[in-house]
Amino acid sequence: MTTYALVHGAWHGAWCWERLAAELQRRGHRAVAVDLPCGDSAAGCARYAEIVTTALADADENVVVVGHSLGGLTIPLVAAARPVQRLIFLSALLPQPGRSFDDQVAEDPSMICPGVGDGQHVHPDGSTSWDPERAASVLYPDCEPDLARWAARRLRRQNWRAAQEISPLAEWPAVECQYILCADDLVVSTAWSRRAARGRLGRPVTVLPGGHCPFLSRPAALADALGA
């Protein structure tokens, strides 16, 4: 049995992994998903990683950590804090030690697909939230309409310390890494994902069809890609 630690991306919560968790459990594995404090302006990647690591306190070394989207900035810190077998970056951003993610985007704006910010609301504290209709079309374009609307209504505000801070990662952990790219992703550039997977992780991508959130649209295919 493998323990899959499932780390959600921006605006989401542990709820987004429910369909994938059920699929993993059906295959005899354990799934651990946590709610990250995305609304806390003081919480960055180190705090996110601490929450994940605490949730894995009773797990043995057979742990695979999956980070979706913004969660990709956090999961290497989990591997630095405890033994894991593999890191899987799912349509994910990648940290660079000594730099913030915002610095990366300023240098290469093509990392993020055009128009992602359209339909987002910026709040006085700097957090952002989605217009549900726009979220459904950008984040969940390949989901059944009822499922897309359900997910869009559950999205939370996201504060951005995790993107603004200098990465707490001192060095890349010595652990096997995999990158799963979604062919029709409207959030993270697929061209950037291919370059980054080869340049930073030293391996090609695994490609799934569909949009940014396959844990909702195709959980069985995603479980296959995770090696479950």
CATH number at 134 reads: 3.40.50.1820
Mean pLDDT for the stretch of residues 103-119: 94
One-letter amino acid of 171: E
Query: Which residue range forms the structural domain that includes residue 219?
Result: 3-225
If one counts the domains in the chain, the total is 1
Q: What is the amino acid identity at position 132?
A: P
The pLDDT tens digits of the residues spanning 33-84 come to 999 999 999 999 999 999 999 999 999 999 999 999 999 999 999 999 999 9
pLDDT at 178 over 90: yes
When pLDDT is cut at 50, 70 and 90, the band that residue 5 belongs to is very high
pLDDT tens string 189-205: 999 999 999 999 999 99
Q: How far is CA 10 from CA 28, 36, 128, 156, 224, in A?
A: 29, 9, 10, 8, 24
Tokens of 212: 């940014």
Report, as an integer, the average pLDDT of 10-24: 98
pLDDT band (50, 70, 90) for residue 99: very high
pLDDT digits (tens, 9 = 90+) for 137-174: 999 999 999 999 999 999 999 999 999 999 999 999 99
* Amino acid 228: pLDDT: 79
Chain-centroid distance, C-alpha 113: 16
Write the Ramachandran bin of 197: left for phi over 0, alpha for psi from -120 to 50, otherwise beta: alpha
β-pair partners for 90: 68, 180
Q: How many CB atoms lie within 10 A of CB 74?
A: 29
Q: Which residue has the tokens 């001192």?
A: 170
H or E element, residue 228: none
Q: What is the pLDDT of residue 40?
A: 96
Number of neighbouring beta carbons within 10 Å of residue 107: 9
For residues 82 and 48, what is the distance between their CA atoms, to the nearest angstrom? 14
C-alpha–C-alpha distance, residues 147 and 102, integer Å: 31
Residues 36, 69: Cα–Cα separation, whole Å: 13
Task: Using the CB atoms, write b or e for 5-27: b if 16+ within 10 Å.
Answer: bbbbbbbbebebbebbbebbeee
pLDDT mean across residues, the chain: 97
The pLDDT-based confidence of 119 (bands split at 50, 70, 90) is confident
